Amino acid sequence: MFVTPALAQAAGPASDPLASLMIPMLLMLAIFYFLLIRPQSKRAKEHRDRMNSVRRGDTVVTSGGMVGRVTKVTDTSDEIEVELADNLKVRIVKSTLIDVRSKGEPVKDTAA
């Protein structure tokens, strides 16, 4: 009496739930790539190149906070020799360098 029978409505075009989720996810991935991943990898590459171009006479900072002058670099090894004080030379791994403070003049070779 007061209740009318429900009429079946024609179904509209079915939207693909996978497509509606993929577009925002791809957009978020693109934003993360351009704002976080790409700049970080660029900085890491610059740091790696800078540390690999260390030469004798450069002032470097180690990850332990020690500042010293490079006295020996070999191309075949990943170790360098750093003079921290007079008559105090230590061998450190290049990957533990944080910064190259100043590019110095190469030390003259005395073994000639």
Which pLDDT tens digit goes with each residue over 20-43? 888 889 999 999 999 999 999 999
Task: Please state the φ and ψ torsions of residue 92, each to the nearest 5 degrees.
Answer: -130, 160
What mean pLDDT do residues 104-108 have?
59
For the chain, give every domain's residue range: 19-52, 55-102
Whole-structure pTM value = 0.61
Beta bridge partners of residue 29, listed in sequence order: none
Asked if 82 contacts 62 with a C-beta cutoff of 8 angstroms, the reply is yes
- Joined together, the tokens standing for residue 28 give 């978020």
Helical spans, DSSP H, in 1-112: 17-32, 38-52
How much is the pLDDT for 112? 46
CATH number of the domain at 55-102, please? 2.30.30
